[in-house]
Structure 1
Amino acid sequence: MTDYGRGQGSEPWHPADPLYGDQGWEQQAGHGQAAYGGQGSYDPQQPQQTYAGDWSQGHQQQGGHGYGQDPGYGQDPGYGQGYGQNQGYGQDPAYGQQGYDGQQQGQGGWDPVGQGQVPSYGVDPTDPYGTGHQGAYNGGDQPDYYSTPDAYPPPEPPGRRRAPEPQTEWDAGPDQGESAFFNGGGDDDGEGDDRGARRGGRKPKKRRSGCACLVLTVIFASGVGGVGYFGYQFYQDRFGSAPDYSGDGNGETVSVVIDKGSDGYTIGQKLKAAGVVQSVDAFVAAQSANPQGKTIQAGAYILQREMSGASAVKLMLSPKSKANMIIGEGWRNAKIYELIDSKLKVDKGTTEKAAKEHYKDLGLPGWAQGHAKLKDPLEGFLYPSSYAVAKGMDPEDVLKQMVERANENYEKLDLEGKAKELHLDGAWQVLTVASLVQAEGKTHDDFRKMAEVVYNRLKPTNTETVQLLQFDSTFNYLKKQSNINIGLDEIRSNKDPYNTYTNKGLPPGPISNPGDDALAATLTPTHDGWLYFVATDGMNKTEFAKTHAEFEKLTEKFNASQQGN
């Protein structure tokens, strides 16, 4: 008997095999054997072979065809160990260690020829069509088509061959790789056409759907457009110039408040939020390009919407854009409220009302709260300076700016610490003295002498005025006026706490908003013994005296200046 185990049989299958494709190994040369894990079917022309042993373990019957490792169930002779570890299948030299020896090499197996009927799955691994060197097909009644050189690809056994495909002209239809999508058909239709072609009929041509082509074109164009857009944005974000408007604006004005300490990026953010510039980077680039760009100060600016970055920088460097409100030294709160109303374009009295209703929420320090008989709790805290005030802002926001500025300066001066040195009762009294100095003095030198006058008159040892300040400025404050000619009868009859002619000591609180000079002079008074002062010209010139006699001479000088008026 021929030793199949040591033969060099043909490949188990080949992609060009006419059986490979739809049928493939579904039916191997009439044996009904399933390919690659499919269950083998028995030839209805052959009687079923009965095997002894355990069906679940093929190795119990070495010569048998166990089902525990049937090639049709996952361990094909060409890929695994064969049927029940049969020496001739699972260990062929072409696939394993030993070939199929018809004598079972001492294992006591059965002779497939001697049995009279070869099982439908008894195939040589090197002979994928199951007929190989036996010289016959299914019992030897058919000629051997596989021993000749031109037998590849192997012809089908008689009775099972398909009719040859009719030779037709080449058709570049869907069967040449064209998808069913372009033909307007689905997958199921395509399969049906293929099956018809295999039966020998010519595959009918399908009409290509113009609608499908149009849809695909639109999808393709959309994809290209989307990729192009995002690619452009990616490039612009990293390499392109920042988005920027052109020109000096569209004519629509807008106010922008720049806080103290803001850098270029922070300013750009505010301008972009207000619609002034198109991007923060555009402003920052323009600021960097302008030699004076870094000198933009905090404050309120009147700008236009849709300005180029360069135009915005240029306008912010010009006084024309400033929307700041300047508070003068010694101004009373009443005057400041009116100015804020005017800047905000609101009704008169709006800011004063907001101050009375919300003064506790504006940031006053603890030492400035809880004082009785005050005309205005915010007096002395609307610090003289420049503030950003523009239409659209809330009065409370403006007042907060001013109170915050006052707190910063008062902390730097350490009013509370200086109070003890000046024999005053806390920072509140220091601030009140500074407001008096600011209201009565005219120059820095005047301020220091004026501060000494206040401190000397407050002394318990003062026998000249007996701790009465006798300042016209306090009476004018309570009367909401500025009058230098006040009758004695009017003054002496008024008992208001702010009237220092009838009340000893300091008034209940500040009567103005003192500036830096007045505050500094209050903390560093002279020590020359000044006790009196008179504005001898009635307006700008203030002269001081240490005794009452000197004071009388100064009074005569004042009266002389007023006779010509």
Structure 2
Amino acid sequence: MTEYGRGPGPEPWHPEDPQYGDQGWTGHETQQGQMPYVAGPQQYQQEPQPQQPYYAQQQGRYPQAQQPPYAQQPQQMPYPQHPQQHQHPQQHPQQETYGGQGQVWDTGQVHYAEVPQTADPYAGVDPYAQQQSSGYPGEAPDLYGTPEAFPPPRPPSMRHLQTEEPWQEEEDAAADSFLAGGGGGDNDDGDGDGDDGGRGGRRPGRSGGKPKKRSGMACLIAAVVIVAVVGGGGYYGYSYLKDKFGAAEDFAGAGIDVPVDVQIPKGAGLGQMGRILKEAGVVASAQAFVDAAKSANGTSIQPGTYPLKKKMSAASVVEVMTDPSKLHVLTISEGSRNSAVYAAIDKKLEKPEGTTAGIAKREVKNLGLPAWANNDSKIMDPLEGFLYPMRYDLTKDSTPESLLKQMVKNATDKYTELGIEAKSKELGLENPLQVITVASLVNAEGKNHDDFRKMSEVVYNRLKKTNDVTNRKIEFDSTYNYIKNQSEINFNLKEAKAFVHPYNTHNVTGLPPGPINNPGLEALTATLSPDHGGWMFFVSVDGDKTTFTKTYDEHLQLVAEFQERQKQKNGG
């Protein structure tokens, strides 16, 4: 048997059919263009080499092999050199045969006649190495030495053999890659996207490209992730569509008997209000409140604290919040007297009448008055002028004492901000308390900011020592009304002048001992910045517009006009 064919038969190895033949296969590639040796007197037959394992033979082509495909035999030549000179066939076409000891083998190849040579040109050449084409006529091309070549032939017994090798580590790595978001390593489609470097998804050395076995845990986790994603997406999609196109969830009725105070901050829009109400358990959804508020002029809803109930319908909530009387706040108007403030606190906190007034009298030294306040024993109410007018939000924790402290603090902070202590001396006043007293008179007699500035000029001019018209008497009706706790325009002036009281400016000179109300910011700023027009008198003839004059004669004319109007009004 030779390496050129399958046996002594006439069938040659066909290089274009690597699967041809099923016996005598040695795993060697056909040597193209190599001439066999014909021995001289004695023929040497090639000693059969032991067949190497398949992977050892294929090491040069497959990475798993550990040996080169054709290991060199250190001291063995496939055709040992004969001491005698080799003879080559004569160059004439004939069928080549090998003979020796009465045997002849037909190789099925045509060779040329031997040409005598003096030296063996093939000495030392590896007979198994690929030879360059010699260019002899009829020589077949080398179909294994080009990139387009067929794969090397394989023995028949191993053509369909699938080798089993452990791939557990690669499967674990593929599972980890999938869980990390890779997912590209287990590509069984052969599209080159896997971890095998684009070799069609097959593992190195695996001829059949058998699909890898997937880890059961990885598949289970993948299934759970898919179910979670699909389920979560469906839930949120349903919620979005329901909120977008469905009717907003709402309660029915005026709510259950569980009161709750809801505070709406300043600058809150309808959407924020709805969310606050929903978090408090008042409405079923913010959208229901927004819809109800838009249809009921909900833009008039003011910030503050509202007494509501749990599980109210949105319409019921809007009805309460659009009613100013239901707003759980206490608003102190500019120029309000303390007596009115005390009564309002009692009403809002549902306290018995007189509760707040009693606390104010008992706790006056503990409510935070500044040191320059209450320096005159003739003061009727030390807190007068210190309950700063503004809106106060009420909560379930609000008490008369807590409200009074907050009002005093707000007033003190505002007076400090305006710097009334320093400006009192610039205005010729004795102390900061007199600044608040002037502002309270201005706020009681004036009607707007322009009136306030002129009214403060009247007060300062009447306090001057050079005033010989009123002899430094203020003569404001508001002081007499304060004593009487009334707000009357038509009263007996003679009786008022005869009534002796420290606060009655018709009877005493100068300012009253203390403020007669709680002045607002406009009255305070006007007091600190008077008009300087030289005004001495004023009269509101029609009860709406105030007219100021500089002389007493002008004033008497206006007073006569006012009295005539009052007679006509009363039918006299």
Please say which structure displays the higher CA radius of gyration. Answer: 2
Instruction: Report the TM-score when normalising by structure 2.
Output: 0.48
